[in-house]
Structure 1
């Protein structure tokens, strides 16, 4: 008959548990990370996948151009170890809170990330040919620059801030995100590096897919709501000819609307695109009496689910909207 197993004495059991715990590697606590807008949050979430999830500030269909901070945002910033944002030129509402509220956090301004190419903001509602040539590009290492100025004399107020709409810039942003996370959290650096490499490969594949999809409509002129798509246009050889408004926070004047209507007629703009974050009635006013069609472009993913999958979905949606309207 098999002898019954006798329970370990209490002291021996405690010693066994202590030895097991000491032999197991301690799990490193991931940093608390805040991201400003949905495209930035998506890239940060992709790099942090499997480690932790960043907190998003501008949710849903809200726009960084008009956003007002909430108490929950301030609470997240106060607890943050890292804050990723484009910069005060886009998320002006964060300019003071990043300093005053996120006191213990490292602020990563992605507009200044190494390898990011910047394009000058275009002026006026109807862009002239030389303004649309994308000639003024900046590709600086910003580590030793003043926060708001370039060595060539262009301050960031003159720069188009929608940098994530270039796949090349998105890859540079991913690298900067991984570097900042690894510096803050060395215990998880290998995971951040592997995630960043995987994300960069997926962006390359996405880029090739979109180039093939957009090639048939590359030369067709169109008008956008505001100048958010210049990086996308430049990368894929598209022909944006004007914007309804320079500043999406302000309603365009009657003179500007008239100028855009003339541009549609003069260049035969095939489409005029609204944005879900702003007043669509203006687009109806613009296209009335013209042959131009109406479409919707969303530079930030208003209706998309937050997370790593948002960025590729955002880029595919923009490409699909352009192809559907310009190709029909």
Structure 2
């Protein structure tokens, strides 16, 4: 495998300061949350370009350099980016790493197949959800994330991945689409940054608290907008929106492909097209094949509404996550208000 040279500057780096803190995030929504916590103390970098899939991305040399030079990697976790754990271990073995999907308080939903989703609403939430109150580490005061003398616990994401894979049902990795998860992660990010940069610990914590308050207000407004639409159903090209749907009481009838973007096959699609009830729209992504969009919309006589769970077209930065929540809200409003 290609080895990336470490420069003399990196070998003889000065002690870490807020100005020198180098943070990379794997996807735009996590980049945004990290930027909110860092505030004026620094700017995180995005590891994978907007518009690329985090599932199987191959790092370009410039992206590999960002990872190699990082002090902290913020990522969803191995269920979303199975390649990233090994890349980090090889290119940035001494950097801190926080897989937010594996942190305390994270709501996890079971991954659904590309099938009729109506039955999910007949069960109690406890039957198909859990929170990561514990997962190999004691996260109560988040001290484990800051132990940079021993990275073994952090880097053993292969074992973590295996444990989650062998659960009765695999978990849906689109965890950032729950604003409740985002609110749980903001103070965790603050503590991680505080350990790396203790001189500015209180600033990180204050930034996180401000961001949580702003998101709470947005969630309340979103609830009011979407509550009247909870009775409608829609079809999705990719079952990527379950966390947002569960939080705001929306109903997906079925998906053409599952949470891993695996197509269920032509028989499943034929059944959808012949048995679908009255649906509000076909929710698609920018990458959904045009032929599939045409087939579904013309057969069912419903419009297509593009909703991108990564917000690739939205401006990158601290305001991205809020804009992403608005993008989803307005998209489902458009779908279900017709």
Aligned to 2:83, what secondary structure does the other structure show?
Answer: helix
2:240 aligned with 1:228 = yes
2:150 aligned with 1:138 = no
1:172–1:263 distance in 2 versus 1, CA, 3 Å: farther
Partner residue in 1 for 2:209: 197
Partner residue in 2 for 1:67: 57
Say whether the 8 Å CA contact 1:126–1:259 is kept in structure 2.
Answer: no
1:245–1:153 distance in 2 versus 1, CA, 3 Å: closer
Q: CA deviation at 1:92?
A: 2.2
Q: CA deviation at 1:124?
A: 2.9
After TM superposition, list the pairs within 5 Å mapping 1:133-212 onto structure 2.
133=123, 134=125, 135-144=127-136, 147-148=160-161, 154=167, 158-212=170-224
| C-alpha distance in 2 between matches for 1:203 and 1:320 | 16
| C-alpha distance in 2 between matches for 1:111 and 1:144 | 13
Partner residue in 1 for 2:294: 284
Aligned to 1:256, what secondary structure does the other structure show?
Answer: helix
Say whether the 8 Å CA contact 1:222–1:240 is kept in structure 2.
Answer: yes
| C-alpha distance in 2 between matches for 1:152 and 1:79 | 31
Q: CA deviation at 1:102?
A: 1.6
Partner residue in 2 for 1:117: 107
Q: Deviations over 1:55-95 (max 9, x none)?
A: 10222222213422111111111111100000111112313
Aligned to 1:243, what secondary structure does the other structure show?
Answer: strand
Residue range with higher mean Cα deviation, 284-293 or 98-107: 284-293
May I ask how many residue pairs the two structures share in their alignment?
300
Partner residue in 2 for 1:240: 252
Q: CA deviation at 1:263?
A: 4.3
Partner residue in 2 for 1:37: 27
| C-alpha distance in 1 between matches for 2:170 and 2:47 | 25
1:108–1:131 distance in 2 versus 1, CA, 3 Å: same
TM-score computed with the length of structure 1 as normaliser = 0.85
* Structure 1 residues without counterparts, runs of 5 or longer: 1-25
Partner residue in 2 for 1:322: 332
Q: CA deviation at 1:310?
A: 0.5
1:180–1:321 distance in 2 versus 1, CA, 3 Å: same
Say whether the 8 Å CA contact 2:273–2:299 is kept in structure 1.
Answer: no
* Structure 2 residues without counterparts, runs of 5 or longer: 1-15, 138-158
Rg (Cα) greater in structure = 1
Q: Deviations over 1:274-309 (max 9, x none)?
A: 101332431221222223221111101110111010
1:132–1:33 distance in 2 versus 1, CA, 3 Å: farther
1:27–1:159 distance in 2 versus 1, CA, 3 Å: closer
| C-alpha distance in 2 between matches for 1:241 and 1:140 | 28
Aligned to 1:244, what secondary structure does the other structure show?
Answer: strand
Partner residue in 2 for 1:7: none
| C-alpha distance in 2 between matches for 1:150 and 1:172 | 22
| C-alpha distance in 1 between matches for 2:198 and 2:334 | 46
| C-alpha distance in 2 between matches for 1:315 and 1:259 | 32
Instruction: Supply the RMSD in Å over aligned alpha carbons.
Output: 2.3
